[in-house]
Structure 1
């Protein structure tokens, strides 16, 4: 299998102002924790850190180690700072020391050239451990050099403002060359050491250092915070020699279990194995990178200890999907939309079953959780569509794996979901007995995927009967009827088949907007019927059981293609609408005002490709072209992955999370679905 490498040379890093600051790298640990920063090395967000550990509730994810300031000392005593750790200073990129940044199987590596010395640095996290390794290797040098590494600590929960660290006092305990930093009885211990050479930690009294976070300033948050450093590690490095800085919240026994070389080797092997498991069209090039990007979202929720104990007692495992990095946790909607692309298309069928059975356990009053707040054991259930996406995900899983056992376990719970929706459940989610359509909405809540809210302002409330909710409702009814018929016979399925037919007739009578030749976004809403052109109508065509009459598919698909499709996804609102916003920027209120009012969402290309292929089943090449705009994006924002959102107009600047589960999942899924190889082989 060819090596999976993405390279950014010096020209790419210096071709635009702040290019190395606005590009970011990410190494997840499979627990929800990660290491991440800008390519320049500067920490520009509160979420950046070399070790963001995933810890049991009530802590959740904690930025333990913010930075590792590294200085190369030449034989004549000249000091060269390798990477820029303060965005306000000239650093490695500005000074020209870094000649190359690359991802090797998704793992970041920097190559520096400093006055005849060539040095490489690589970051890796052992899978499912709160441990980070930063390895330095002297590739070329005429004489020995020295290195000084200064760890800068945060001890701050992920969502806390940068001026609110958890600790005020620190204590350092040393035993040999192993060091522990204590910050209080309720906080984890940070363990640090150097592997490969005896480099002691020189304590220089401890110091607090102010740091400016420019991205937080742009986003309207507190942007100046205090970090703490106990001192520095330092010592000589000889040509060909490697040393590894290790930081961890795990026990010393875990830290020492594997030498750094083995950690790197095993992680590369694990990643190569993931690529080999994936669909054949995904095993090389950019798609192989996205298979590795997909891996970053499938994780064990380390903080929910009780859930893990319950699952293991039942002979199962807990898996879920982190919606996006850096700030999202696991969201029900995102998980169900992403499941096929992240797990089924990539050959991770067993984990897909674990995810579905995990969420089935969380069903309450006919709903799966909307999301799990960081550091909490219980989910929040304010969603009208996540549960309906569960039916879609289960159908794709059963169709791919043939796992009827899981279907039989979950099916009674899905029947209960339908009954709760029919009778009425939380947040005004209830079937209208007059037409069978599903209504949702409660004052002060945002229940659809267009869920932006600032304080008491729900930006796109969409209370009433939303088009995609009813497309999903019909799909869920049809799937439930088919499963019941297969498992229990036609008598059990009959009521749900009848409900589905009522929904279909009502949908086509009520949602069709003759004047615009497409679908209303919401009917029976607070202000009547909403004729805004949004992407939600595409689901009436794209789902496995399309609710829209076949004769109207082309009109809807053409409207969406002409008004909403871009090279990197679909606009959330068509240009020309009074609420349309071309850019997503500014403070929280300004951003959320644009979040679903024009902003492009990468994941929406998936349902559009599905709808396109229903209309044009032989046009695999045309459908594949819809995905090609994502390829150059892999060199910007989150390197090797796909962002959450983009501006609505060229140049479609990436915004939001640098790595979003459903963006990656839908591109991966659709790339495999538009594979031309089987057709070419058949033609031979």
Structure 2
């Protein structure tokens, strides 16, 4: 008896659409499906094609190849028992077989940037191909399982919910509707087979990962009918599901699947400038994983970064933390520039948005660090590219951020004139990366003067001083810019001196925050490591050594840094349970992979010897755990550090990619 393999796979298309499922082919999440289409890229993600139930008839025996969880805790059918192999590269490929037959299925989601895709802009599609070899002829039946619902919510059978279908040669056109609402039109096409109209609801699928997360875990799916294909050895059938209805498309051909695979390989070679036959499989996997997060946002007509799959959108903080790894390490400098331009264009009151708007909506500016991260990332971009014309273009935004922090802006964000440090104080919000909120109350409020925010402020002042001096050599207003450079430099020195307020000699570590009433928070958190990792650092060598040693002993794990030391009374070693339980644990000991980048950069600043970190567990996770070919958002603080959260996280992949190339 085989174990049911619940590891996951993921395909994306550069628009926010995705396809995802498990190795065993069982759907375990609300987010699993073969066409989850971003109707307003990358937003309005909608499940259209859940999956296809396949059965094979050979020698008068019908073999069900699917695997489903049902609400009564039954797994049926058990097609995974006949699953001989699964491969993720170059596309997800399943092979079912017995002694006298073999059936392979492959899935690809063509990227929106593929030059040979005969598609209008912003159209999402998925291609599925079945190929049969066997000693006997067979009959393949493919039953389409569909929906039209928001990707966060399950579909329930409803007498008022109907799916219209128009049957045409080798295709059907589908559209959901209920009184007062009409869903998304989309097409299912195939190269051969006889379609049988046979509408029926399938009730009470169970989604065990949602059960574990304390969320709704039941789904009903609709089937409009099924396709029957006579098979001989060597037979292949290709299907396509695509958003919209385009009556001018030529008939679907099997070669389109092969062409789509080759087009994707060619696109990746062009983007990353590597050869397909390169011996470095690991680096290719990381690069391909990094590309899955880069998407086009229609509402701003520019690039953005999905923070994680399946459920995250594009967030400012996450994008700016991930940008160096996703775009600078990979030398995608035009992408980096486009992202910086986009965020800079939305700067308001000295703040950079933490979430981008959908069409007609307003951005959300609930972040104290995004604006400072934008300056830090701009500096890294300029150092990498020497694109000083871009500095001229963006320098007014640097000044806008500086003036807003000095004068004061939203959430009572303002520089304290007495010590030059940045402070904030607003109830019921969480403005740093530790932003979990439960019942309207931040779990880790961190109001006052957070250590990593002030380290970013110091680095921003250093950048601004250098840039003002450089620009003074080009522009006519030399005197004004030189005065700015001196002012930034003086303020940077004041901040550097004041940063010593964070030194905790008792614990040989940095206080996490100086609270509004001047109380000092002495919890051992990774924010001290972040404070050592930015381009300009205010702390001397002996303090850096001590902070890193404490972090090594208390926070470092094989998968990243814990968010709180285990001996702390608030430490939670497992991020499990319902939404509130998980949110309470999110930053109270949970391991975050992206923090390993800060640890490595800080170590390289203060030490000559190699970083005390073994990459092997993380790389094995990339290749063989959770989402195959990507890196999870978080891990439990307690061993064995089970992966949790989003199965593929942008800043996790980015920070590994940014540094693992130094050692592989």
Supply the distance in 1 between the matched residues of 2:436 and 2:101 (Cα, whole angstroms).
51
Whether 2:37 is the aligned partner of 1:78: answer no
Provide the residue aligned with 2:550 in structure 1: 559
Q: 1:203 aligns with which of 187, 197, 206?
A: 197
Q: 1:505 aligns with which of 497, 509, 512?
A: 497
Supply the distance in 2 between the matched residues of 1:261 and 1:255 (Cα, whole angstroms).
18
Given the superposition, is the C-alpha separation of residues 163 and 487 from structure 1 closer, same or farther in structure 2, using an over 3 Å criterion? farther
Q: 2:616 aligns with which of 628, 652, 661?
A: 628
Q: Is the 8 A contact 1:444 1:458 kept in 2?
A: yes
Supply the distance in 1 between the matched residues of 2:317 and 2:264 (Cα, whole angstroms).
30
Provide the residue aligned with 1:101 in structure 2: 86
Supply the distance in 1 between the matched residues of 2:297 and 2:441 (Cα, whole angstroms).
31
531-540 or 547-556, which moves further after superposition?
547-556
Supply the distance in 2 between the matched residues of 1:537 and 1:164 (Cα, whole angstroms).
51
Provide the residue aligned with 2:27 in structure 1: 43
Give the deviation of 1:328 after TM superposition.
0.5
Give the deviation of 1:165 after TM superposition.
8.9
Q: Is the 8 A contact 1:57 1:375 kept in 2?
A: no
Provide the residue aligned with 2:119 in structure 1: none
Give the deviation of 1:78 after TM superposition.
1.4
SS at match of 1:610: helix
Provide the residue aligned with 1:145 in structure 2: 138
The CA deviation string for residues 330-367 of structure 1, in whole angstroms up to 9 with x for no partner, is 11111011111111111211111111111111111111
Supply the distance in 2 between the matched residues of 1:92 and 1:497 (Cα, whole angstroms).
69
Supply the distance in 1 between the matched residues of 2:270 and 2:41 (Cα, whole angstroms).
32
Give the deviation of 1:141 after TM superposition.
0.5
Give the deviation of 1:151 after TM superposition.
1.5
SS at match of 2:215: coil
SS at match of 1:37: strand
Q: 2:165 aligns with which of 172, 176, 186?
A: 172
Supply the distance in 2 between the matched residues of 1:188 and 1:95 (Cα, whole angstroms).
32
The CA deviation string for residues 22-68 of structure 1, in whole angstroms up to 9 with x for no partner, is x1100001101100011111111111111000112897111111121
Superposition pairs of residues 636-647 of structure 1, within 5 angstroms: 636-647=625-636
SS at match of 2:88: strand
Supply the distance in 1 between the matched residues of 2:86 and 2:518 (Cα, whole angstroms).
53
Give the deviation of 1:389 after TM superposition.
0.9
The CA deviation string for residues 420-444 of structure 1, in whole angstroms up to 9 with x for no partner, is 0111111121111111101123111
The CA deviation string for residues 52-87 of structure 1, in whole angstroms up to 9 with x for no partner, is 00112897111111121111221x231222231336
Q: Is the 8 A contact 2:15 2:42 kept in 1?
A: no
Whether 2:644 is the aligned partner of 1:669: answer no
SS at match of 1:183: strand
| Equivalences, count | 636
Given the superposition, is the C-alpha separation of residues 377 and 200 from structure 1 closer, same or farther in structure 2, using an over 3 Å criterion? farther
Supply the distance in 2 between the matched residues of 1:277 and 1:346 (Cα, whole angstroms).
11
Provide the residue aligned with 2:124 in structure 1: 130
The CA deviation string for residues 148-184 of structure 1, in whole angstroms up to 9 with x for no partner, is 1112112111223554999811100122222111123
Q: Extract unaligned runs of 5+ from structure 2.
A: 113-122, 473-480
Provide the residue aligned with 2:321 in structure 1: 337
Provide the residue aligned with 1:680 in structure 2: none
Q: Is the 8 A contact 2:307 2:313 kept in 1?
A: yes
110-119 or 415-424, which moves further after superposition?
110-119
The CA deviation string for residues 431-461 of structure 1, in whole angstroms up to 9 with x for no partner, is 1111110112311101100011123121111
SS at match of 2:197: strand
The CA deviation string for residues 197-224 of structure 1, in whole angstroms up to 9 with x for no partner, is 2x23211133243311111121111111
Q: 1:520 aligns with which of 511, 516, 530?
A: 511
Supply the distance in 1 between the matched residues of 2:359 and 2:140 (Cα, whole angstroms).
37
Supply the distance in 2 between the matched residues of 1:527 and 1:145 (Cα, whole angstroms).
77
The CA deviation string for residues 600-628 of structure 1, in whole angstroms up to 9 with x for no partner, is 00100000000111122452xx45x4422
Q: Is the 8 A contact 1:389 1:472 kept in 2?
A: yes
Given the superposition, is the C-alpha separation of residues 410 and 567 from structure 1 closer, same or farther in structure 2, using an over 3 Å criterion? same
Supply the distance in 1 between the matched residues of 2:160 and 2:417 (Cα, whole angstroms).
56
Superposition pairs of residues 296-311 of structure 1, within 5 angstroms: 296-302=292-298, 304=299, 307-308=300-301
Given the superposition, is the C-alpha separation of residues 605 and 239 from structure 1 closer, same or farther in structure 2, using an over 3 Å criterion? same
Q: Extract unaligned runs of 5+ from structure 1.
A: 1-9, 309-317, 676-684
Q: Is the 8 A contact 2:173 2:245 kept in 1?
A: no
Supply the distance in 1 between the matched residues of 2:279 and 2:418 (Cα, whole angstroms).
51
Given the superposition, is the C-alpha separation of residues 379 and 85 from structure 1 closer, same or farther in structure 2, using an over 3 Å criterion? farther
Supply the distance in 2 between the matched residues of 1:486 and 1:372 (Cα, whole angstroms).
32
Tell me the TM-score normalized by structure 1. Answer: 0.89
CA RMSD after TM alignment: 2.4
Provide the residue aligned with 2:346 in structure 1: 362
Superposition pairs of residues 214-363 of structure 1, within 5 angstroms: 214-252=208-246, 256=250, 259-277=256-274, 284-302=280-298, 304=299, 307-308=300-301, 318-363=302-347
Supply the distance in 2 between the matched residues of 1:277 and 1:296 (Cα, whole angstroms).
17
Given the superposition, is the C-alpha separation of residues 375 and 576 from structure 1 closer, same or farther in structure 2, using an over 3 Å criterion? farther
The CA deviation string for residues 275-329 of structure 1, in whole angstroms up to 9 with x for no partner, is 5359x9x971222201100000011124x2xx21xxxxxxxxx111100000011
Given the superposition, is the C-alpha separation of residues 191 and 614 from structure 1 closer, same or farther in structure 2, using an over 3 Å criterion? same
The CA deviation string for residues 479-504 of structure 1, in whole angstroms up to 9 with x for no partner, is 11111111125223122111111111
Q: Is the 8 A contact 2:66 2:79 kept in 1?
A: no
Which structure shows the higher helix fraction? 1
